[in-house]
Amino acid sequence: AGGGLTFSGLLNGIDGVAAQEGRLLFLTTNHVDRLDEALLRPGRVDVRVPFERCGGEQLRRYLRHFYGEGSDAAAEELCGCVPPGSLSVAQLQGALMLAPHDPRAGVEAVREMLASQAGTSSGMASEKGREDAS
């Protein structure tokens, strides 16, 4: 017998008789649909916060926060070149970190990342088309 954690043991640890009161528990997943309903029942999971990709206002605010005063023009430029819902905050930050002191260069880094992603996804699509044809 391995002595590993069982699903029942996990549930008891979360809210069983011996569970500690007055604590917060954070669960994260990319596949909430794969989780057992017993884990997600009210009382165990009371709040769900989805993390979505950036919209226009989020892009604008993030760039202004990242670069500070004087970055309004770059923020507007960024919103004009990034389709809403195409970037996660982590992707945006990663691109901006390539030019941490220059908002215009940061916007260019985001453009290059998007172009690279477009090239990768269109390359994958053409590979898929070749596989389907054979």
DSSP for 54-109?
Answer: P-HHHHHHHHHHHH-TT-HHHHHHHHHHS-TTS--HHHHHHHHTTSTT-HHHHHHH
Question: For position 22, what pLDDT does the model report?
Answer: 86
Q: Once rounded to an integer, what is the mean pLDDT over residues 109-124? A: 81
User: Is residue 99's pLDDT more than 80?
Assistant: yes
The pLDDT tens digits for 8-32 are 999 988 888 878 888 888 999 989 9
What is this structure's pTM?
A: 0.63
Average pLDDT value for the chain = 87
Beta strands in 30-111 (DSSP E): none
Of the chain, the percentage scoring pLDDT greater than 70 comes to 88
What pLDDT is stored for residue 124 in this prediction?
A: 46
Q: What is the pLDDT of residues 67-88, one digit of tens each?
A: 998 999 999 999 999 999 999 9
Q: Given a cut of 90, is residue 35 above it in pLDDT?
A: yes
Confirm if 63 and 103 have CB atoms less than 8 A apart.
yes
